[in-house]
Structure 1
Amino acid sequence: MLVSMVLLILVGAALGTQVLADTTAVSNRLADRISPARTAVVQLDAALRDQVSGTRAYVLSGRAELLEPYRSGAAAEQAITARLRELLAGETRLLTELDALQQQAALWRRDTTEPLLTGQRTGASDAVLAEQAGTQAFAGVRTRLSALDTALSEERDRGRQALDDSRRVRNIVFLGIGALLLAAIAAIAVLLRVVVLRPLGRLGTAVRVVAAGDFEHRLSPHGPADIATLGRDVDAMRCRLVDALVTAGKARDESEQRQLALTRSNSDLEQFAYVASHDLQEPLRKVASFCQLLQRRYADVLDERGQQYIDFAVDGATRMQRLINDLLTFSRIGRVYDSHQPVDLNTVLQQVEQTLATTIDDTGARIDRPRLPTVYGDPTLLTMLWQNLLGNAVKFRHPDRPPHVSIIAAADSGTWTFTVRDNGIGIDLEFADKIFVIFQRLHPREKYTGTGIGLAICKRVVEHHGGQIRLDPSHHDGAAFEFTLPEREAHADAS
């Protein structure tokens, strides 16, 4: 249909161009040739009349200066005749009339005018007769001039008729082209509705059925190849969405199962924590108590090795109690201790310094800290964090100098970065990651007490608050720990 419409437009354009060209040619012939030729004929008549009047005046008066109209008329006749031949080029009939006119004018000048102008005057009566003879001879010229003018008038009338016919044909052609174009547009509209819009409507209805939730509804596209291809692509997308939904459903079911398993695991962990905090510690306390009772009651009976064995038993039970307590503390992070509230770190540091006051006094430790900010978090966990960091800084002191701890706080884009530096024995960089693993120790128990869980608790506390902790490798005269804490609560920032 589009090809047919293009051909129709091309044929209509060709016909319209031809009709317009014909109309323009007829109009141009009238305007540029026939009408100017009639005007030239009028001018030619005036030039011939000037010749007649000049001849009459000369013949009657005999004065040479009165021949000027004759000479100018003859020159004008030649110029106008040349102009007429240019205008009437290709007009055979009109050129024949013009040739006859020129011949008649030439005969008039040769047989009548020239003899009168060159002959001897024989008196007034002869001059009058000569003038009358010249006028009678000029009547033939005027007859030829009238015939040329009549021929031009007839050509003008035929030209006007041809122009009217050409305009009529032009109007009929353009009206026919317009009607054909309207018919073609109407046909295209019908075809679009039948071939394109109707299949698109059925495809849209099917898509809305799928969008309403019936994902198993299959699409059966019909119509042109492009619409059918689009329908198949949409159906393929529906199939992929169905597969994705099935996969997501399975993943959701698996996630729910894992969530149930995690819930059961957390329940078991809470049960274990209860047992560890009560049932397991009770036998350990009995073991330690009875061993100490044996040591006091039978001290005079037991030898040195027996005393040593009892000491080992008491020490083992005591360390087991500490390990259980540390494990309980570690497991409660994020589960029991999970509040989010503004915490003034200055108050936290004062509590930690009071707790470590005896150790600080005994070692002569000095703690330099600026005014610390208020952060969001759990007060108990943040107290554990600072107590472990400051306690380690004092515990792992250098034997040749008293402990000196420096605390630095810096804010950056809603996050506080804290650095705790000391001048103690330091930590090798090769153990930078190992020190944050639970129960990992770098020194023998006889030299430094503890269970090796302090830095693991620090790491878990910091990560629970959305921060990170690391060993600062740029500090060499001792150890330096750098960690981050959010300035505000996460959901408060989001709001």
Structure 2
Amino acid sequence: RTPTVEEVRALASWVTQTTSGEVFSTNHLASFYEPANAFAQTASGLLALSVAHIRPSVVLWFRPEVIETISWGGDPRKEATHPELSGRIHPRKSFETWRETVRQQATPWLRSEIDTAAELRSALLGIVLRKSEELASLSSDLKVTNQSLERTNKELEAFSYSVSHDLRAPLRHIAGYAEILKEVSEGKLDEADRKFVDTIIESCEYAGKLVDNLLAFSQMGRAALTLIPVNMNLLMSEVRQEVGVEAEGRDVVWQIGEMPLVEADVMMLKLAVRNLLSNALKYSRSRPQTVIEVQCVIDRSEAVFSIRDNGVGFDMRYQDKLFGVFQRLHRWEDYEGTGIGLANVRRIVERHGGRAWAEGAVDHGATFYFTLPLAETSAARA
């Protein structure tokens, strides 16, 4: 049996603040610590040792109250008599047995028990010291690893930027010469030859989009963020109008809930939202009626956004591939795209200190989530 959790915490705090020795022991705790009167039956005796100094920790052993009856030859509290006439002190006239009940004391701790506690403390301190050294070494290794990763990421971004930039001109030349060949050979090429030339032109256009998106993806990691309070109601409305051309001639139902103010780079955030809404339209175009639901819930200091569609969905076994560069879960022939859009979404969201993930099921639609920090005014209302 021990005192309550609250009582033990208060006692541990008193031990670390009051006792100066490495090991503290007493069989009468209430004489040192007045609140111990409340739990004397459970813990009248205490053996305590401090384990650490930076983050104080203590180990406590308790001993219960042992009620002891002491017999005296007469009441020891009764004063001896001294008659005024003689001026002499006379012994007690009665030595009748007098008994006293002693409470709030425990069996005294033996010297061997105190020494054993001290040895345990030394062993624990040794373990703490060794673990501290291991953590310091690990921290140093992690610092070196992080620096190496940062350097590697910068080199990769620079490489991606250089490659994508240098590839644009050759691709334009190939497409341009193919167009010239098609024009000057009008009427001279048979159907198969014309198809070859058209394939060259289409492939160059697609490769050009890949290069442009790769360049944009590289710039996402290099561009500085300009964080301002962003009205998500207004931003969602603007992006919905921008992607509206993709919904022309279709039955599309938009369900957009109330949005908060967030702290973000408005241009980057707009790009991420545009990609998500465009994907929702793209992958639901086979439905007689497209339903896109955009909602937001507040979770402490961040906003959790969700964009749900009733499209073709995806297999959750491959969800990790969704946000990878050039990763696609559907054929390009069925759904156009370069496979960089969602990678851009995740990079933008993570640069804002948020998270991005998705849930879905084949032929049952998909829901994409992302979080952003709330602007101070919204956080105060939450």
Answer yes or no: is 1:454 the counterpart of 2:377. no
For residues 160-309 of structure 1, the aligned pairs below 5 Å read 167=90, 239-240=126-127, 243-309=130-196
- For 1:282 and 1:240, the matched residues in 2 are separated by 63
Query: How many Å separate the matches in 2 of 1:343 and 1:378?
Result: 8
Classify the secondary structure of the residue corresponding to 1:376.
strand
Contact persistence 1:462–1:468 (CA under 8 A): yes
CA distance in structure 1 between the aligned counterparts of 2:184 and 2:288, rounded to whole angstroms: 44
Q: Does 1:469 align with 2:357?
A: yes
CA deviation string 1:359-407 (max 9, x = no partner)? 2335454434244322122223321222122212222234462534332
Paired position in structure 1 for 2:211 = 324
How far apart, in 1, do the equivalents of 2:135 and 2:304 lie?
40
Please tell me whether the aligned partners of residues 165 and 211 of structure 2 are also in contact (alpha carbons under 8 angstroms): no
Cα deviation digits, residues 59-101 of structure 1 (max 9, x gap): xxxxxxxxxxxxxxxxxxxxxxxxxxxxxxxxxxxxxxxxxxx
Q: CA deviation at 1:265?
A: 0.9
**Which residue does 1:367 correspond to in 2?**
254
1:411 paired to 2:298: yes
The equivalent of 2:64 in structure 1 is none
- Give SS of 2:295's match: strand
Task: State the Cα deviation string for residues 8-38 of structure 1 (Å, max 9, x = none).
Answer: xxxxx99x959x9xxx9xx9xxxxxxxxxxx
Give the residue type in structure 2 aligned to 1:247. Answer: E
TM-score by length of 2: 0.59
- Separation in 2 of the partners of 1:476 and 1:337? 39
Structure 2 SS opposite 1:284: helix
Q: Deviations over 1:250-303 (max 9, x none)?
A: 334323322331232133123213303421222222222222222222344433
Amino acid at match of 2:137: K
- The 2-side partners of 1:461 and 1:445 are apart by 24
Relative to structure 1, the CA distance from residue 472 to residue 377 in structure 2 (aligned partners, 3 Å threshold; closer, same or farther) is farther
| TM-score after normalising by structure 1 | 0.47
| C-alpha distance after superposition, 1:348-368 (max 9, x if no partner) | 224323432432335454434
Unaligned runs of 5+ in 1: 1-12, 28-159, 171-223
Q: Does the 8 A contact of 1:337 with 1:378 survive in 2?
A: no
Tell me whether 1:389 sits opposite 2:271 in the alignment: no
Instruction: Structure 2: give runs of 5+ residues left out of the alignment.
Output: 1-69, 93-110
**Residue 52 of structure 1 corresponds to which residue in structure 2?**
none
Spell out, residue by residue over 1:392-438, the C-alpha distance to the aligned partner (whole angstroms, 9 max, x if none).
22222344625343323333444434333334444455555554444
Please tell me the residue identity of whatever aligns with 1:393: A
Sort the Cα spacing of 1:435 and 1:263 in 2 relative to 1 into closer, same or farther, 3 A.
Answer: closer
3-state secondary structure, aligned to 2:306: strand
Distance in 1, matches of 2:285 and 2:237, equals 24
Percent identical = 30
SS in structure 1 of the partner of residue 332 of structure 2? coil
State the aligned residue count. Answer: 283
Separation in 1 of the partners of 2:247 and 2:124?
Answer: 70
- Cα distance 1:336–1:477, how it changes in 2: closer, same or farther (>3 A)? same
Rg comparison, structure with higher value: 1
Q: Which structure carries more relative contact order (alpha carbon 8 Å, separation 6+)? A: 2
- Report SS of the residue matched to 1:356: helix
Q: Alpha carbons of 1:301 and 1:481: their partners in 2 closer, same or farther (altered >3 Å)?
A: same
> Is contact 1:472–1:482 with CA below 8 Å preserved after alignment?
no
Q: Deviations over 1:311-341 (max 9, x none)?
A: 2322223222222333333344454254432
Question: What residue identity is the alignment partner of 1:167?
Answer: H
